[in-house]
């Protein structure tokens, strides 16, 4: 495959990805932080729907022998410590590595600073990796639940997709997604101090 | 029906669209959806301007030579373009920064938020690379492949995110 073809394919897939992130509102800091504050549920709904859809897609593609899986390796300390730092970073930035680009496209100017910080964060890890990587390595390597249980991937994938779908039905009945859109689709609830001219957190401009 | 001029789609519709992107990812690009690796590619090229030795470092070299990361870098650029087009078609206008920040934090001006954004971006990508992936690679793709390390990473991600966000003012 030529690089040009891969770039065109990546751009086309990214366009669809970006439209879905913008329409789904999950790129909004108000939605992401709202999920971490357990007041908004749009992010979890979209994340679990994407996973469940992917499970069905991969159950078909892998089960029929059309595509091999590409699971990442398991290294306990790297995964757990890195995951904690990553989550804290999302809460400080208000974005993850994919949604920061959607924020830039949608017009948030502070997201350019997230992008710059992210590039330097990747650079810092790259320089630290020769020491940090081996120090925190250790684990079973590429390991999936399917391999652990000895059950076929496609069967487990379809079961988990069904469980997620069922859970989402209950989540939606408990908390309809429209309730979390917020003022002007920012994911920030109407009536929060952000929208009160006299609010403590709203300085004179 | 979903329309590009809609201000919002349900998270279920948007999630299905993203999940379906695994079809071209696995069949045409021979990889899974991901985003954070491309930051290492860009970081490698930026660093190589000042420090040509990075090309000889295994970690950077991997992300600067494989065509997989050309695909992923194009993907993240496409995300920005897609969001731009979607915003324009929906006639949704965003302020310079989300109103969330003034509601949740004692951040008043753009400068303070910009500094916080830079620091947050740095921590976020450092953590993602330590874990070996992000919300897309470990989350959507890794959990979808039932990878043990990905499930651990995403649980830790939510714990870390909730721990920090709970310190903010609840909006």
The reported pLDDT for the residue numbered B155 is 98
pTM recorded for the entire structure: 0.94
The reported pLDDT for the residue numbered A201 is 44
Residue at A13 is within a domain: no
**3-class DSSP state for residue A163?**
helix
pLDDT over 70 (residue A202): no
Q: Grade residue B35 by pLDDT with cuts at 50, 70 and 90.
A: very high
* For chain B, domain boundaries: 1-93
Q: What is the least distance, in Å, from the CA of B126 to any CA of chain A?
A: 5
Question: Taking a contact as any Cβ pair under 8 Å apart, which residues of chain A between 50 and 69 contact chain B?
Answer: 50-58, 61, 66-67, 69
User: For chain A, how many structural domains are there in total?
Assistant: 2
CB burial of A55-90 (b: ≥16 within 10 Å; e: otherwise) equals bbbbbebbeeeebebbbbbbbeebbbbbbbbbbbbb
The reported pLDDT for the residue numbered A197 is 46
Q: Which residues 6+ apart lie within 8 Å of A41 measured at CB?
A: A35, A171, A175, A177, A180
- Whether the CB of B64 is below 8 Å from some CB of chain A: the reply is no
**Residues A59, A84 within the same domain:** no
The CA–CA distances, whole Å, from B36 to A96, A101, B7, B63, B113 equal 9, 11, 28, 11, 23
Instruction: Report the residue of A4, A85, A177 to disrupt the B interface, i.e. the one with the largest count of B CBs within 10 Å.
Output: A85
- Whether the CB of A92 is below 8 Å from some CB of chain B: the reply is yes
Per-residue pLDDT tens digits for A70-97: 999 999 999 999 999 999 999 999 999 9
Q: Please tell me which of the candidates A9, A15, A183 has its beta carbon nearest to residue B81.
A: A15
CB contact under 8 A, A121 and B78: no
* Chain B CB contacts of A185 below 8 Å: 7-8, 92
Which structural domain range is residue A104 located in?
72-143
CB contact under 8 A, B9 and A24: yes
Residue at A181 is within a domain: yes
Residue at A166 is within a domain: yes
**Residues A89, A113 within the same domain:** yes
Q: Sign (positive/negative) of CA torsion A96, B163, A25, A55? A: positive
Greatest Cα pair distance, chain B, in angstroms, is: 53
Q: Are strands A141-142 and A73-74 parallel, antiparallel or unpaired?
A: antiparallel
Residue at A1 is within a domain: no
> What is the number of residues in chain B?
171
**Residues A157, A65 within the same domain:** yes
In angstroms and rounded to an integer, the radius of gyration of the C-alpha atoms of chain A is 20
Per-residue pLDDT tens digits for A25-68: 999 999 999 999 999 999 999 999 999 999 999 999 999 999 99
Q: Is A120 left (phi over 0), alpha (psi -120 to 50) or beta?
A: alpha
**Residues A84, A181 within the same domain:** no
């Amino acid at each position: 495959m030529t690089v040009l073809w891969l770039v065109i394919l990546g751009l086309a897939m990214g366009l669809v990805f970006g439209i879905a992130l913008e329409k789904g509102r999950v790129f909004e800091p108000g939605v992401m932080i709202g999920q971490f504050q357990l007041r908004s549920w749009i992010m979890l709904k979209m994340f679990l729907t994407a996973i469940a859809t992917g499970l069905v897609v991969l159950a078909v593609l892998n089960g029929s022998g059309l595509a091999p899986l590409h699971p990442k390796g398991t290294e306990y300390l790297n995964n757990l410590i890195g995951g904690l730092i990553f989550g804290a970073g999302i809460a400080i930035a208000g974005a993850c590595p994919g949604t920061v680009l959607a924020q830039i496209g949608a017009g948030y100017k502070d997201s350019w600073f997230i992008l710059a910080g992210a590039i330097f964060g990747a650079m810092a890890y790259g320089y630290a990796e020769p020491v940090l990587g081996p120090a925190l390595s250790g684990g079973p390597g590429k390991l999936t639940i399917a391999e652990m249980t000895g059950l076929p991937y496609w069967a487990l994938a379809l079961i988990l997709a069904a469980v997620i779908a069922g859970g989402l039905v209950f989540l939606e009945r408990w908390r309809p997604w429209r309730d979390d859109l917020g003022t002007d689709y920012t994911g920030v609830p109407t009536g929060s101090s952000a929208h009160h001219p006299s609010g403590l957190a709203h300085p004179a401009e | 029906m979903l329309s590009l001029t809609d201000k919002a789609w349900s998270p279920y519709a948007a999630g299905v669209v993203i999940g379906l992107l695994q079809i071209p990812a696995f069949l045409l690009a021979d990889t899974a959806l991901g985003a954070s690796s491309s930051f290492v590619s860009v970081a490698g090229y930026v660093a190589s301007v000042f420090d040509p030795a990075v090309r000889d470092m295994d970690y950077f070299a991997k992300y600067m030579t494989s065509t997989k990361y050309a695909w992923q870098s194009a993907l993240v650029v496409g995300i920005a373009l897609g969001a731009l087009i979607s915003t324009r078609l929906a006639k949704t206008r965003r302020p310079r920064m989300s109103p969330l920040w003034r509601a949740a934090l004692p951040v008043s001006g753009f400068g303070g938020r910009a500094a916080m954004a830079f620091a947050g971006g740095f921590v976020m990508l450092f953590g993602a690379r330590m874990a070996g992936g992000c919300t897309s690679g470990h989350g959507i793709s890794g959990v979808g492949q039932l990878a043990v390390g990905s499930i651990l990473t995403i649980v830790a991600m939510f714990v870390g995110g909730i721990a920090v966000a709970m310190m903010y003012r609840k909006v």
